[in-house]
Amino acid sequence: MLLDSRMVQVTGQGKLEITHVQVPCEVKGGIVADVILAGICGTDIHLLDDPHPIPGVADPYPLGMGHEMVVRVRSIDPGSVDTYGTPISEGDRIVFDPTSWACGRCYACRVLLSPNNCLHPAPSVPFPEFGAAFADHVTIPPGSLVYRVPDGMPDEIAVLTEPMAGASRAFQRGARPGNPDRGEGFGVGSSVVIQGAGALGALLTVIAKQAGAGHITVIGEPVERRAVCAKLGADLTLGLEGSSAERVKAVADASLLGLGADVVFEASGAPDALGEAIELARIEGTIVEFGAYTDRGQAHVPASAICRKDLAIFGSLGYGPGQFGLALRLLERWRDQVAFGALITHTFPLDSISEAFDVARSGEAIKATIVP
């Protein structure tokens, strides 16, 4: 037997279509599940809007859409367990790591243990094979990293697992010391700047606050997003209406000896944000570039300031095998302390996918979600 499932695909630049696919009722060794709730990521918007959404792939269409989701198991092999050994059965809610497309055999996968940096991925193949997050049903291939959602955790929190995985990994990049003797990077009491007030910026705010940051500044638009970040722990929020120099001064004024931030997380993806991050950071400070997942153009970077300030700059791409489970544990641990529900600002039915993307693209939403 087969299930009829709606599935959202990008069929060309700026073209969204709802198609119908026949999903198998069972996948040996894998899982067939019903999508409960799915989130729109900034990467989804770029996959839709960018003329070359996947570097090196001339014609990536059609693209299955969506990778942030919480689903309910419809079919699974008897006796199955999740990645932690917790039993899973039909009717259970789960989240799963969508980076299972990594080859598992290359240097990055086997030696570096970094499937997010796989040398031989298959980005032209939609994951999962039948459907993605913006669909009625999905199939989860055998061998995927799957995690049972704790009882009592709201769907609106569980759906944040994937972005929390990326945010927590970016935060860990910032915690790596540039010089072990001086403890550079994030530590308890550190001053932090987060560029970008969207979902990733908000989650970085939560992590920094819970990790003991001394002062957190969030820079972004619109004012409603900044208000949510303030609710989640930001001590200072700055908009983009002023000049870069004014923002740099405001951050310096709030820092020790007026030197600037200990750690800056660039989570906006704006081309000029990295250049500003270099000015925001203190001498021997740390910068993590986390927002530039897609090519949005070149930006002027003051290279001399990198040397003059003796900066440590890290990139952060996705997350490794252990990050997804960590993200779910953090959401569970903090869910009674943190107003995670404030991040879900808009919810749409699947048939209104175009409207949902319009709202997400406008910046009006922090996290827009889809209910199939």
Instruction: Name the residue type at position 108.
Output: A
Structure confidence at residue 177 (pLDDT): 67
CATH of the domain at 350: 3.90.180.10
In this structure, are 22 and 133 located in the same domain?
yes
Contact by Cβ (8 Å): 116, 99 = yes
Residue 334 lies in a domain: no
Residue 179 confidence (pLDDT): 66
Q: Reduced to 3 states, what is the DSSP secondary structure of residue 128?
A: coil
Number of domains in the chain: 2
CA 29 to CA 43: how far, in whole Å?
A: 30
Assess whether 301 and 245 both reside in one domain.
yes
Is the bond preceding 154 in cis, omega lying within 30 degrees of 0?
no
Task: Output the pLDDT for position 214.
Answer: 95
**Looking at the structure, do residues 265 and 170 belong to the same domain, yes or no?**
yes
Residues contacting 145, CB < 8 A, separation 6+: 83, 96, 97, 100, 321, 324, 325
Q: Residue 306: which H helix or E strand, with range?
A: helix 303-309
Q: What is the pLDDT of residue 124?
A: 41
Q: Say if CB 1 and CB 45 are below 8 A apart.
A: no
How many alpha carbons lie under 13 Å from residue 332 in its C-beta half-sphere?
A: 13
Return the amino acid letter for 254: A
In which domain, by residue range, is 363 found? 2-149+339-371
Distances (CA, A) of 357 to 188, 228, 365: 38, 21, 10
| Domain identity same for 6 and 140 | yes
Average pLDDT per consecutive 10 residues, the chain (372 residues; last block may be shorter): 91 93 91 97 90 79 91 97 96 87 84 86 54 90 91 97 96 79 82 97 98 96 96 97 96 96 95 95 95 77 92 90 92 96 96 96 94 94
On whether both 173 and 137 belong to a single domain, the answer is no
For residue 272, give the 3-state DSSP assignment. coil
- How far is 102 from 93, CA to CA, in rounded Å? 24
260: Cβ contacts below 8 Å, ≥ 6 apart: 248, 251, 252, 279, 280, 281, 282, 283, 285
Instruction: Quote the pLDDT of residue 132.
Output: 85
Find tokens 């004014």 and name the residue: 246
Separation of alpha carbons 97 and 104, rounded Å? 14
Q: What is the pLDDT of residue 330?
A: 98
Last residue of a domain, one of 315, 347, 363: 315
- Same domain, residue pair 120 and 174: no
CATH number reported for the structural domain that contains residue 190 in this entry: 3.40.50.720
Looking at the fold, whether 184 and 311 belong to one and the same domain comes out as yes
Task: Identify whether 308 is part of a domain.
Answer: yes
Residue 159 lies in a domain: no
- The string of DSSP letters for 194-255 reads EE--SHHHHHHHHHHHHTT-SEEEEE-S-HHHHHHHHHTT-SEEE-SSS-HHHHHHHHHHTS
Residue-wise pLDDT for 273-292, tens only, equals 999 999 999 999 999 999 88
* Beta strand extents in the chain (DSSP E only): 2-12, 15-24, 31-39, 63-64, 68-76, 93-96, 137-140, 146-148, 191-195, 215-219, 236-238, 261-266, 281-289, 312-315, 344-349, 367-371
185 with 143, same domain?
no
DSSP-assigned states of every residue in 142-187? TT--EEEPPTT--HHHHTTHHHHHHHHHHHHHHHS-SSTTTT-S--
Tell me, yes or no, whether 179 and 300 share the same domain. yes
Q: How many CA atoms lie within 13 A of 145 on its CB side?
A: 21
Contact between 234 and 216 under an 8 Å Cβ cutoff? The reply is yes
| Phi, psi dihedral angles at 327 (to 5 degrees) | -60, -45
The answer on 177 and 40 residing in a single domain is no
Whether residues 144 and 174 share a domain: the answer is no
Say what the pTM is. 0.93
> How many other β-carbons are positioned within 10 Å of the β-carbon of residue 56?
8
